[in-house]
Amino acid sequence: MLLHMKLIVGIGNPDEKYLETRHNVGFMFVDFVAKKIEADDFVLDKKLNAMVAKGYLDKKPVILAKPLSYVNESGGVVGKMARFYKVKSADIIVVQDDLDIEFGNCKNSFDKNSGGHKGIDSIINSLRTKKFYRLRIGTAVRALDKAREQSEKKRDAFVMDFVLSKFTPKDRETLKDVFKDCWMRLEQIVKQ
């Protein structure tokens, strides 16, 4: 095992129809990181059920992963990868979309509850701890505030449609700045 290896997992949905949707911003950021650090190409690891690439960030070995389970079942893949690579939970960084953070922002957290994100719930259950890092990329817009005032059924339907909708060209421009911010946060986490 390499010392202080970091496992950076972007969560998203694997099907092509979900490319560039808000729920897949974790995949998008991991692709950004792979380019930035000139990592190996992503390859399918059937045993781990993930696309995996290896590289170095700040001279530390990193595994970049995109689980091929759906967002809400990410935990099984993350748990399997943590065991396979013998990575401690504190060396895992999960990149996710976050409906509680305004679009255009990125926050990091450690040892926090899921905030209702089913994918994060799944990872917490699989790792049996919340002591891992998260890069939370904001996807919230004003329309969500109105949806939250609706009945539970209407709200849930709106949220599902919203997270599975694609970023507009203007949104993608904003994401460039968001990813720069997330990159700086990621570097700080890796240096610890």
Which residues are identified as catalytic?
23
Helix, strand, or coil here: 121? Answer: helix
- The overall longest dimension of the chain from CA atoms, in Å, is 51
Instruction: With both helix axes pointing from N to C terminus, report the angle between 118-127 and 74-85 in degrees, rounded to the nearest 10.
Output: 40
Helix, strand or coil, per DSSP, at residue 116: coil
Determine phi and psi for 62, rounding to 5 degrees: -130, 145
- The C-alpha R_g of the chain, in whole angstroms, comes to 16
Cα–Cα distances in angstroms (integers) from residue 25 to residues 20, 22, 104, 144, in the given order = 7, 5, 12, 18
